[in-house]
Amino acid sequence: MFENIIYFISALILSVLYTDQDTNNFSIKFSIGILILSYIFLYFLCSFFFKKAFENKNLDLLKKYSKRLSISAIIIFGINIYVFEIPQIFINFKLFSLIETLGPLIMIFLFTGKMLIIWERFYFFQQKIFYDGISKKEFLVTQLQFSLPSILPWFIISCAFDILKFFPFKNKEFFTDSVIGQFIYAGLLIAAISVFIPVIVKKFWKCQKLEDIETLEILEKLSLQTGVKYKEALIWPIFQGKMITAGVIGLFKNFRYILVTKAFCDYLAPEEKKAVIAHEFGHIKKNHMVLYLLIFGGFIISSYFFLEPLAFIFLFVNIENINSFFPRQNLISLFTAFLFMTSFILFFRYIFGFFMRNFERQADLYSFLVSGSSFPLVSTFRKISRLTSEKDDEPNWHHFNINERIEFLLKCQMDKTLVKKHDKKINQNLLIYFVIVAAIFFTGYKTDFYKNTIINKKAEKFIMEEIKKNPADFELYHYLGDILMEQKNEEKAVHAYEKALLINQKLPETLNNLAWIYITSENANIQNLEKGIALAQKAVNLKKNPPAFIFDTLAEGLFRKKDFDKACFFAKKALEKAQDNKKYYSQQADKICGNY
| Residue-by-residue pLDDT tens, the chain, 596 positions | 567 888 898 898 888 877 665 555 678 888 899 999 999 999 999 999 999 988 888 888 888 899 899 999 999 998 888 888 888 777 767 777 778 889 899 999 999 999 999 999 999 988 887 766 778 888 898 889 888 888 888 888 788 778 877 776 556 555 555 656 666 766 666 676 677 778 888 888 889 999 999 999 999 999 999 999 999 999 998 877 778 899 999 888 888 999 999 999 999 999 999 999 999 999 999 999 999 989 988 888 887 776 666 655 555 544 444 444 445 555 666 676 777 778 888 898 899 999 999 999 999 999 999 999 999 999 999 998 887 666 677 777 778 999 999 999 999 999 999 999 999 999 999 999 999 999 888 776 665 544 455 556 666 777 888 788 888 888 889 988 988 888 888 999 999 999 999 999 889 999 999 999 999 998 989 999 999 999 999 999 988 778 889 999 999 999 999 999 999 999 999 988 876 677 788 888 888 897 55
pLDDT at 220 (0 to 100): 95
CA-closest candidate to residue 229, choices 183, 271, 285: 285
Q: How far apart are CA 342 and CA 335, in angstroms?
A: 10
Q: What pLDDT, on a 0 to 100 scale, did the predictor assign at position 595?
A: 58
Is 519 in contact with 536 (CB distance < 8 Å)? yes
Say which residues have a Cβ less than 8 Å from residue 537's Cβ, sequence separation at least 6. 554
* CB 45, CB 102: distance < 8 Å: no
Nearest to 21 by CA among 77, 80, 93, 87: 87
Q: Which residues of 276-297 are buried (b: 16+ CB within 10 A; e: fewer)?
A: bbbbbbbbbebebbebebebbe
Q: What are phi and psi of 101, to 5 degrees?
A: -65, -30
Q: Is 234 left (phi over 0), alpha (psi -120 to 50) or beta?
A: beta
Q: What local confidence, expressed as pLDDT, does residue 319 receive?
A: 45
The per-type count for the chain, helices as H runs and strands as E runs, is 27, 4
Instruction: Look at residues 312, 300, 191 and name the one whose alpha carbon lies nearest to residue 251.
Output: 191
- Please indicate, yes or no, whether the overall pTM of this predicted structure exceeds 0.75: no
Is residue 28 helix, strand or coil?
helix
DSSP class per residue in 163-223:
HHHTS--TTHHHHHHSHHHHHHHHHHHHHHHHHHHHHHHHHHTT-EE---HHHHHHHHHHH
Q: What's the pLDDT at 293?
A: 85
Tell me how far apart the alpha carbons of residues 20 and 85 are, in angstroms, rounded to a whole number. 9
- To the nearest 10°, report the CA torsion of 112, 116, 119, 121: -140
C-alpha 114/C-alpha 77 separation (Å) is 8
246: enclosing H helix or E strand: strand 246-249
Alpha carbon distance 174, 205 (integer Å): 37
**CB 84 within 8 Å of CB 26:** yes
